[in-house]
Amino acid sequence: MKRTSHLPADGLLTLTPEGLHCPAAGAWIDPWRPVPRALITHAHADHARAGCGTYWAVGSAEGILRRRLGSGIDLRPVRYGEERRIGEARVSFHSAGHVLGSAQIRLEAGGERWLVSGDFKRDADPSCTPFEPVEADVLISEATFGLPIYRWAPGAAVAEQIRHWWKGASERPSLLFCYAFGKAQRVLAELHALGETDEVLLHGTVQALMEPYRQAGVAMVPTRPVSELPRADTLAGRLVIAPPSAHRSAWMRRFRHPQTGFASGWMAVRGARRRRGYERGFVLSDHADWDGLVCTARESRARQIYLTHGQSDVLARYLREVEGLAAEPLAGGFEAERSPEGDHPEAGLSVEPA
């Protein structure tokens, strides 16, 4: 049976039906339901929900947040490392390295410092600001890929695999499925860093989220919406990036004998590619792998660590027994709060399978 712990009643954060609540700040972090004041770690659908009074988030996340939640939301943009006084707490946002504008959120009040990691990764990624190690007294961390089998190769190496797969099919279109916000832009940026200059075609869902990345100065290969090409074009030899929701949909009928691939950390699991019906799987994740999770827990110097999502019990036991850290899975509705559109935690926008 999974061993879980609850947050202390007198702690800086409490768990309410709306999610993680900081009474000192009068705010919720990535609330599950509408609240008066929300502190947002990033713009994926399972972390940023509509209906809140005010939203606090890193400024580079603004374009995606307004697109998802409405242009008229009351958004209070902040810079990485900038400390703000919110209520009776001091709050700062630190890069999580997950997607554009993603943050870890640190709260200080009553002589204590608590850190909520949000989703994060430590791998190099040319599409977003690098992860920043942050120390705290108490850490609440994700554990999405909290098993030792999850160890990522460098993104550049995976991008080279994608390019080789694409270029090796000169007589077929290559359809690469990945999440429209974060993963798609990372692939485009990794290909650019390899020196690729050929144009990549985009499904409309991916195209709709490109402008915030361009405005942020992220260098990517040239792109164009696939819808701009004549329907009679066979698209042989072209790379097309699309969301998983487009797989096996009517949209695919325009492609003649395409080869299909899926980019996700879940491709590290034997048989996952076949179960999902793709010809090729590329192991590329925007979450921390096992080593990244352990390193982050260690570097936080936290006296207490709570873990959410994924294999939190396995990671907690390792941190206790091997690393000598006080770590427990956090009881609550975190697993249920992942995107209802899919069956695993690399959540994308609401139109995406998770």
Examine the domain organization and report whether 127 and 190 are in the same domain.
Answer: no
Report whether pLDDT(2) > 90: no
315-329 as b/e: b if 16+ CB within 10 A? bbebbeeeeebebbb
Residues 265 and 312 in one domain: no
Domain match, 84 and 186 both = no
**Whether 159 and 140 share a structural domain:** no
> Quick one: pLDDT band at residue 157, thresholds 50, 70, 90?
very high
Together in a domain, 28 and 127: yes
Q: Which of 282, 297, 326 is the last residue of a domain?
A: 282
The proportion of the chain whose per-residue pLDDT surpasses 90, expressed as a percent, equals 88
Q: Decide which of 9 and 85 is more confident.
A: 85
Instruction: Give residue-wise pLDDT tens across range 50-91.
Output: 999 999 999 999 999 999 999 999 999 999 999 999 999 999
8 within some domain: no
Establish if 69 belongs to a structural domain.
Answer: yes
Average pLDDT score over residue span 256-262: 95
3 within some domain? no
Task: Tell whether 216 is covered by a domain.
Answer: yes
pLDDT at 344: 44
The answer to whether residue 4 scores a pLDDT higher than 60 is yes
Whether 353 is covered by a domain: the verdict is no
Average pLDDT, the chain: 93
Q: Structural domain of residue 243, as residue ranges?
A: 155-282
Same domain for 49 and 135: yes
Distance, in Å, from the CA atom of 255 to the CA atom of 251, rounded to the nearest integer, reads 9
Considering the domain boundaries, does residue 6 fall inside one? no
* 58 contact partners, CB below 8 Å, separation of at least 6: 77, 78, 79, 80, 93, 101, 102, 103
Residue 276's domain is classified under what CATH number? Answer: 3.40.50
Q: How many domains, the chain?
A: 2
342 within domain boundaries: no
Predicted confidence (pLDDT) per residue in 320-344, tens digit: 999 999 999 998 877 655 543 333 4
107 and 160: one domain?
A: no
| Same domain flag for 311 and 274 | no
Residue 86, domain CATH = 3.60.15.10
Amino acid letter for position 267: M
The pairing of beta strand 112-116 with beta strand 103-109: antiparallel
Determine the pLDDT at residue 275. Answer: 81
Residues 103 and 181 in one domain: no
Q: Please tell me the predicted confidence (pLDDT) of residue 195.
A: 98
Out of 166-175, 237-246, 255-264, 335-344, least confident range: 335-344
pLDDT at 332: 80
pLDDT over 70, % of the chain: 94
27, 18 in Cβ contact below 8 A?
A: no
The pLDDT-based confidence of 232 (bands split at 50, 70, 90) is: low
**Does residue 354 carry a pLDDT above 70?**
no
One domain for residues 211 and 128: no
The residues near 274 (Cβ < 8 Å, ≥ 6 apart) are none
Judged by average pLDDT, the poorest of 177-181, 231-235, 280-284 is 231-235
163 in the same domain as 256: yes
Same domain, 276 and 312: no
Boundary (domain end) residue, out of 265, 282, 299? 282
For the cut 70, the answer to whether the pLDDT of residue 272 exceeds it is yes
Q: Is residue 349 part of a domain?
A: no
